[in-house]
Each structure stands twice: as structure tokens, then as C-alpha cells.
């Protein structure tokens, strides 16, 4: 699968949820791997929706209350661990603010993909920074539109105004990419090499090398 640059193309399909901290960690590690091997490969990264809690309320609940109810006394240990992990990728993990339904964020990410995969990738980054490090709420329309504007996605406010816009596409994506997996982040590289979890950059790099030697690549 060579392209016009002469470099082999690595296609990466990522299933993730916008409230999954390990998805953000995995993205940052993936970005490091891509950056360090961009002289060798070209990359095409597509983001697909996954909903850890499809019944989460649209109005949101306090993150600390949600995690306390979900994990009980382990919540402090988990928060400490995530704080340490985020520090390792250059961010301060913020447990303030609300968490809740992620459907609108997935509609927006899918919409952004039609304007370019680079914009989609940048939007995932912007949403992650806001939600995980600034206490922004992933279900807040103003935050979603602001993030879209920052990365050059046009028409986000109008698109999100109608709750049916992009809904069928998100459901189709969920069925196609998420029905057979049990957790995120989940990566499929060149259609066959599968990775899960917040993998370190070297694991991605090794998989890129293996994938580039496929007959299909």
C-alpha cells in the first residue's frame, strides 16, 4: 500500500470514548510513535465512537461522585494513578467538573472527519485536553463548539443544534467497529493488527514495522 510520497501508508482505526482517560493517554503515545516514524511512513488515522456508559445522563454528574459510586474506596488510588500517568505525558489530570453522556462528542468527531482526518485528530486532542485537564464537560454544547472552532471544524454549532444530525452514522460506526470489542482504546492497524489499552510508543512502533511488511501494505 504505497502512496504518492513513496512511503508506505499505515492506516490506523481507533475506537475510543471521550471520557476514557486511557484513550487520551493512548492517543498521546500514538502521536509520539507517529512523530518518530513519519520519515518512514505516512499515516491515516480515523477515530470511531465507543460509549462506555450509553445511559449516562446528558445533564452530567460530578466526576468525583460518579467514580466514587463506580469504584468505591479504590477511587483515591485510581485518581492517584491517573495523576501520575498524565504527568508522564505532560498534563495535570483534573477530576473536577462533570462527566456524562458522550453521544454529542462522538457526533461531532464523526462530523469533523468529513472535513479532514487531520481536523478529526486535532478535535479528539482538544476535547481530551479540555475534559481531562481543565474540568470542561464533554456534554456541554459550548465546549464542543469551542473545541471544534479551535481546530478549524466549520459549522459545528449548526450541526449540533439538530440532535439527529450524524446520529445514524454514529450508530453505524458503533455497530461496525465497537460491537466486537470489550474495552477501549482499541486500535486496528492496516486492517488486521490489533492493540488495546494505553500502549507505550514502542509498542506502536513495533506494530508499524510488522504492518509495513504485510503483503497488503
Q: Please report the pLDDT score of residue 6 as a whole number.
A: 80
- DSSP letter assigned to residue 80: H
Tell me the pLDDT band of 4, cut-offs 50, 70 and 90: low
Residues in the chain, overall count: 217
Helix (H) or strand (E) holding 46: strand 41-49
Q: Shortest CA distance to 167 belongs to which of 209, 110, 116, 89?
A: 110
At 182 the pLDDT is 87
Residue 217 has pLDDT above 50, yes or no: no
Strands (DSSP E) contained in 63-120 are 98-99
Distance (Å, whole) CA 36 – CA 173: 30
Please give the Cα distance from 192 to 142 (Å, whole number). 38
Q: In which residue are the cell numbers 466549520 written?
A: 154
Q: How confident is the model at residue 5 (pLDDT cuts 50, 70, 90)?
A: low
d(CA 201, CA 187) in angstroms, rounded, equals: 13
Q: What is the mean pLDDT of the chain?
A: 94
**pLDDT confidence band for 64 (50 / 70 / 90):** very high
How far apart are alpha carbons 156 and 170 in whole angstroms? Answer: 16
Mean pLDDT of the 207-215 span: 90
Confidence of residue 82 (pLDDT cuts 50, 70, 90): very high
Stated pTM of the model: 0.94
Amino acid at each position: 500500500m504505497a502512496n504518492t510520497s513513496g512511503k508506505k501508508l499505515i492506516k490506523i482505526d481507533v475506537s475510543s470514548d471521550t471520557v476514557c482517560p486511557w484513550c487520551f493517554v493512548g492517543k498521546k503515545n500514538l502521536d509520539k510513535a507517529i512523530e518518530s516514524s513519519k520519515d518512514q511512513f505516512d499515516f491515516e488515522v480515523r477515530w470511531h465512537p465507543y460509549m462506555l456508559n450509553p445511559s449516562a445522563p446528558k445533564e452530567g454528574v460530578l466526576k468525583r461522585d460518579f467514580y466514587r459510586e463506580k469504584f468505591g474506596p479504590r477511587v483515591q488510588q485510581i485518581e492517584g494513578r491517573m495523576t501520575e500517568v498524565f504527568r508522564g505525558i505532560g498534563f495535570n489530570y483534573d477530576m473536577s467538573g462533570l462527566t456524562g453522556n458522550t453521544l454529542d462528542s462522538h457526533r461531532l468527531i464523526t462530523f469533523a472527519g468529513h472535513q479532514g482526518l487531520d481536523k478529526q485528530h486535532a478535535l479528539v486532542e482538544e476535547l481530551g485536553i479540555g475534559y481531562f485537564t481543565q474540568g470542561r464537560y464533554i456534554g456541554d454544547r459550548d465546549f464542543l463548539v469551542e473545541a471544534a472552532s479551535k481546530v478549524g471544524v466549520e459549522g459545528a454549532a449548526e450541526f449540533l443544534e439538530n440532535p439527529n444530525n450524524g446520529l445514524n452514522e454514529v450508530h453505524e460506526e458503533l455497530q461496525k467497529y465497537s460491537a466486537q470489542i470489550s474495552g477501549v482504546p482499541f486500535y486496528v492497524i492496516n486492517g488486521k493488527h490489533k492493540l488495546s489499552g494505553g500502549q507505550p510508543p514502542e509498542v506502536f512502533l513495533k506494530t508499524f514495522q510488522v504492518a509495513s511488511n504485510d503483503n497488503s501494505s
